[in-house]
Amino acid sequence: MGCGMSPRFERELLMIPGPTMVSPRVLRILSKPVISHWSEEFKEAFLEALRLTQMLFQTEGHPFILPGSGTLGMEAAIANIVEPGDRVLCVENGFFGERWSEIVEAHGGVVDHLRFDWGQPIDPKLVEERLQEADYKAFTIEHVETSTGVANPLEEIGRIARGTDAVCIVDSVCGVGGMPLKMDEWGLDLCLTGSQKALGAPPGLALLCLNDKAWSVVERREKPVADYFADLRRWGPVMRDPSGYFATPPTGMILGLLEALRLIAEEGLENRWRRHRAFSEAFRAGLEAIGLESFPARGYEAHTVSVAKVPEGIDDAELRKIMRERHGVIIAGGLGKLKGRIIRIGHMGSATITDLAATMSSLEMALKILGYELRLGAGVGALEERLLPYLSTP
Amino acid sequence: MGCGMSPRFERELLMIPGPTMVSPRVLRILSKPVISHWSEEFKEAFLEALRLTQMLFQTEGHPFILPGSGTLGMEAAIANIVEPGDRVLCVENGFFGERWSEIVEAHGGVVDHLRFDWGQPIDPKLVEERLQEADYKAFTIEHVETSTGVANPLEEIGRIARGTDAVCIVDSVCGVGGMPLKMDEWGLDLCLTGSQKALGAPPGLALLCLNDKAWSVVERREKPVADYFADLRRWGPVMRDPSGYFATPPTGMILGLLEALRLIAEEGLENRWRRHRAFSEAFRAGLEAIGLESFPARGYEAHTVSVAKVPEGIDDAELRKIMRERHGVIIAGGLGKLKGRIIRIGHMGSATITDLAATMSSLEMALKILGYELRLGAGVGALEERLLPYLSTP
């Protein structure tokens, strides 16, 4: 057994909604010799990565890059904003939205749930109403709910957040870098992501930004943060001047992230949003052409991941196994109560047009093998048709 | 500005006490395409890395590999063992030993300090006496105090821990993999390290092992852990079966760590300990030959890092700058109250005999440039003399 690839496929297409494939430019950086965390080079790179993180989140706020999973970012948000006894409204419409309440409770917060059906977007009106019913310290929401492929209407959420003292905490792990997110313009207070999704870097880093409203809540806390490693006031000085020390930064990972962020800056954030939108529309057109029904509510589909219902009579595990073993194409199944009912295809970060077409082709062949009726090439054809106008614009 | 290397030195010698240089075999793994955290390949690799972690710590206990810095490992130890109000004895003889009390206090523990001079080892007799004076839940100790180059007498500490209910928590960030540590045989309850030191992997992962005594304390807790990401009971199921999900594992980093652990297994742990001991003795002989005084108390020198006093009249920042800029050799200065008074040279993990000789040569030249009197070649000569017998044994 080698590390990294199956024996049959030296190159696999990793089309799950994260971790995603990363650019060869990023991979080359990761294989460079380790450098000192005290070197000028590392300090400059770290500061540039922090500046690009602000660009990514479209904010002048306070950026943090922490060694850990996106889950550490979620915990840092709650651990720093919420004090024991504080009320928090968890706005939930999927597997990841439902994780927030566990973290809030671990930190002594009092959770109220506002639940929407999985596959439906959250309704900003109901959020606004609930926020007026009690004195909430914060509310949590997903940008893209990775488990259902729904993109929640964040811009309206930001407008609502502006009218309250509650800190609006946004999990954009599967959004930022692939879909519009304008933290300052929209009025979102604390946004976070992981390195391994639409950013096109490997997993291992959490990125957070806090605006002044969120940061002042952290600074005015009465009780210390019941957490050492996720305490943003301990990390703060290092983010302003990496000559300081709090914990050894993962130097190579941060250089890799920087290269991924530079790729985003080179592409241009608006162009990147447009590309993800075009990919998403094209892939959905392909799914529709072969008769697969999109799972998320129409008009609320994420641009980073496509989610389709598994057709009647098809075993999704078998489908994914054929794609993986015969074509080297890796897609994801459903999580929690959607296990076996949906397939999820990530097309974000460094995914390309040819990756999309190849994945659609693999899906067609695998469905055919399982006895599903379709015209071979129909999905790819529809996908191409939708991509051509996008590709012909300069 | 490129990422990774200064313009003059395509290859630098990174001889600080961590992060350390990693083998080209590990670097190649890091540059492989990202794989899915749900793949069989990743699960097998993760389980193998956990088994090798047990080998590394010489334990049949419970291994954990967490995404984060070594500091996360320290927090996980305290967050899971200590409940608010619990008394903890922090045994301190340097910069890193003194960090434990901050973490204990963040988690509501009551700290008693047992302090020894920086550069001196801790005295097991005094530890034993203090542990009998109160009902301690745990005590903390450094294996190697990275800031002074002292290796504490862990074997005696383990014997003492066996006689008490207190959980013996050992920070072996700069020890394990480079110096003997026999967790089960010695009776140490919870040991931890980071990936970036004597293991020869890049920074970004914390490794912990708990024996049954420590694990039963975690399982018998009355209050939940006031921390989500460092809660070992949440991670536990994933460490036994990586098909589960708690947070996205840094797949590439874990494959890189596995390769580093395989290198350790191939070398053989006892051979590796012997190599580090020989390197340490040789480097100290070289320092002595050019008149540099070793900082740690005689007989307690770590095998992973050499620490010497800066000679009278020499500016340590200038010395390190010359080595870095003219020779591409990176060594470390002092931390905290030892800033400017000592130099620290890491020689662990994948460091080689030629790295040692080159570093000594650079040190000789830089000292000469600064007006220090020495016979050029004397340090390297003494180093060679000590290495020859080691190299001639099979």
Q: Are residues B41 and B189 located together in one domain of the fold? A: yes
Q: Are residues B161 and B240 located together in one domain of the fold? A: yes
What span, in angstroms and rounded, lies between the C-alpha atoms of A377 and A360?
9
Number of structural domains in chain A: 2
Between the alpha carbon of residue B345 and those of residues B16, B38, B287, B308, the distances in Å are 5, 40, 11, 9
Q: Are residues A29 and A69 located together in one domain of the fold? A: yes
What span, in angstroms and rounded, lies between the C-alpha atoms of A118 and A4?
34
CATH of the domain at A70: 3.40.640.10
Size of interface A-B (CB pairs under 8 A): 236
Q: Are residues A65 and A211 located together in one domain of the fold? A: yes
State the nearest Cα–Cα gap between B348 and chain A, in angstroms: 14
What span, in angstroms and rounded, lies between the C-alpha atoms of B128 and B44?
42
What span, in angstroms and rounded, lies between the C-alpha atoms of B20 and A251?
11
Cβ contact A3–B259 (<8 Å)? yes
Q: Which residues of B touch A106 (CB under 8 A)?
A: 224-228, 231
Helix or strand (DSSP H, E) at A277:
helix A269-289
Specify if B6 maps to a domain. no
Among the listed residues A268, A340, A273, A289, the one whose alpha carbon sits nearest the alpha carbon of residue A310: A340
Cβ contact A41–B230 (<8 Å)? no
Q: Which residues of A touch B246 (CB under 8 A)?
A: 71
Q: Which of B31, B33, B196 sits opposite A28 (nearest CB)?
A: B31
Specify if B214 maps to a domain. yes
Mark which of B266, B298, B331 sits at the end of a domain. B266
Specify if B324 maps to a domain. yes
- Disruptive mutation site among B6, B25, B34 for chain A (greatest number of A CBs within 10 Å): B34
Q: In the prediction, which pLDDT does A394 show? A: 61
Burial class (CB in 10 A: 0-12, 13-18, 19+), B297: middle
Give the structural domain span for B194.
24-266
Cβ contact A246–B71 (<8 Å)? yes
Burial class (CB in 10 A: 0-12, 13-18, 19+), A297: middle
| Residue of chain B with shortest Cα separation from A206 | B68
State the nearest Cα–Cα gap between A324 and chain B, in angstroms: 10
CB A295 within 8 A of CB A149: yes
Specify if A7 maps to a domain. no
Specify if B118 maps to a domain. yes
Cβ contact A251–B107 (<8 Å)? no
Q: Provide CB contacts within 8 A for B235, sequence distance 6+.
A: B64, B66, B246
Largest CA distance in chain B: 64
Q: In the prediction, which pLDDT does B3 show? A: 41
Specify if B43 maps to a domain. yes
Q: Which residues of B touch A13 (CB under 8 A)?
A: none
Q: Which of B12, B250, B332 sits opposite A203 (nearest CB)?
A: B250
Q: Are residues A174 and A122 located together in one domain of the fold? A: yes
Q: In the prediction, which pLDDT does A226 show? A: 87
- Disruptive mutation site among B13, B229, B352 for chain A (greatest number of A CBs within 10 Å): B229
ipTM: 0.92
Q: Are residues A92 and A79 located together in one domain of the fold? A: yes
Q: In the prediction, which pLDDT does A8 show? A: 58
Residue ranges in chain A modelled with pLDDT below 70: 1-10, 393-394
Q: In the prediction, which pLDDT does A11 show? A: 78
Q: Are residues A188 and A48 located together in one domain of the fold? A: yes
Mark which of B246, B266, B286 sits at the end of a domain. B266
Between the alpha carbon of residue B14 and those of residues A27, A249, B90, the distances in Å are 21, 16, 32
Q: Are residues B236 and B283 located together in one domain of the fold? A: no
Specify if B7 maps to a domain. no
Percent of chain A with pLDDT strictly greater than 70: 97
Q: Are residues A38 and A184 located together in one domain of the fold? A: yes
pLDDT tens across the length of chain B (394 residues): 334 444 456 679 999 999 999 999 999 999 999 999 999 999 999 999 999 999 999 999 999 999 999 999 999 999 999 999 999 999 999 999 999 999 999 999 999 999 999 999 999 999 999 999 999 999 999 999 999 999 999 999 999 999 999 999 999 999 999 999 999 999 999 999 999 999 999 999 999 999 999 999 999 999 999 899 999 999 999 999 998 899 999 999 999 999 999 999 999 999 999 999 999 999 999 999 999 999 999 999 999 999 999 999 999 999 999 999 999 999 999 999 999 999 999 999 999 999 999 999 999 999 999 999 999 999 999 999 999 988 886 6
Specify if B1 maps to a domain. no
What span, in angstroms and rounded, lies between the C-alpha atoms of B136 and B165?
8
Q: In the prediction, which pLDDT does A262 show? A: 98
Q: Which residues of A touch B82 (CB under 8 A)?
A: none
Q: Are residues A64 and A176 located together in one domain of the fold? A: yes
Mark which of B206, B234, B266 sits at the end of a domain. B266
Q: Are residues A235 and A157 located together in one domain of the fold? A: yes
Q: Are residues A72 and A143 located together in one domain of the fold? A: yes
- Disruptive mutation site among A231, A248, A259, A345 for chain B (greatest number of B CBs within 10 Å): A248
CATH of the domain at A341: 3.90.1150.10
